[in-house]
Amino acid sequence: MARPTERDTRGIVDPRAGFERFTLTRHEPSPDLAWAVDRYWSVRWDLRDGDSYEQRVILHPAVHLVFEVGAATVEAISPHDFARRLERRGQAFGVKFRPAGFRPFLGGAVSAIAGRRFVASVVFGAEVDEISRILGVTDDVNALTDVVETFLRRLDTQPLPMTATMNAVVDLIVADKSLTRVGDLARRLGINPRRLQRLFADHVGLGPKWVINRCRIHEAADVAIRGASIDWARLAAELGYSDQSHLVRDFTATVGTSPDQYNRQAARPRWR
């Protein structure tokens, strides 16, 4: 089932401008794979008039398996930003794993691959490259989804004892904006903060502090895109920042512009 893209643009920097250059669709995983897969996504672009466009993304706490024509890669969770320049005509199909969903496939701590991009066959074997070749002969997203799900099922990978728990912990961080500190999260869960740090490194790849901060920046960016007049001091307090300047510093460092500038940029008329 397709997810309405416009309802959740978190992570896409300036989505209004981006959606004028490319088409993004998202699809739900089958129930038996939902422990591992958050969504499947497809991006298509046609800029054969000589134009090009660079899309920046504020990455989520997740690993992606990405297919393009002739290439299958793993895009690991990363503290760095991500940018992709779109030129001519093309498409990409991806699997966004749940926060702890990639760990069972990897067979080791996700922190070991954090910040890396590498060929998918290292984890999934040579068969994964066949899917990227299929992408060259079809643009049927439903057919691609079926192929990928069949491949994942054949691997017969099972969730680890902590997979569901760690997925639920990240879901809690996203849903509960009052959780702004690692200590608060540890107390809510009844777990030692050091133990929590180790679990995040093993199953998610980056620490809980980074995940909390990233989720709050996603929230602030989403508000900036959708709101006409925003009380930044109030938003900073709601997101757990000690003051507005702290939010502005974090937002600017992550997004590349201040929240106020980002808000004004989103309201400007576009090139089409």
User: For position 125, what pLDDT does the model report?
Assistant: 94
State pTM to two decimals: 0.88
Task: Tell the CATH topology of 163-267.
Answer: Arc Repressor Mutant, subunit A (1.10.10)
User: For position 227, what pLDDT does the model report?
Assistant: 65
How far is residue 16's CA from residue 66's CA, in Å, rounded to a whole number? 23
User: For position 187, what pLDDT does the model report?
Assistant: 95
Q: Any idea of the CA torsion for 210, 213, 217, 220, to the nearest 10 degrees?
A: 170
> Helix, strand or coil for residue 48?
strand
Per-residue CA distances from 20 to 16, 108, 222 (Å): 7, 40, 18
User: For position 228, what pLDDT does the model report?
Assistant: 64
Which tens digits make up the pLDDT trace of 20-39? 777 888 999 999 999 999 99
Residue 19, CA atoms < 13 Å, CB-side half-sphere: 11
Which tens digits make up the pLDDT trace of 192-248? 999 999 999 999 999 999 999 898 888 888 887 776 678 888 888 888 887 888 888
CB 64 within 8 Å of CB 120: no
Contacts of 181 (CB under 8 A, 6+ apart): 212, 240
Sequence spans of domains, the chain: 2-155, 163-267
Q: What mean pLDDT do residues 34-52 have?
A: 86
Range with lowest mean pLDDT among 12-26, 109-123, 156-170, 198-212: 12-26
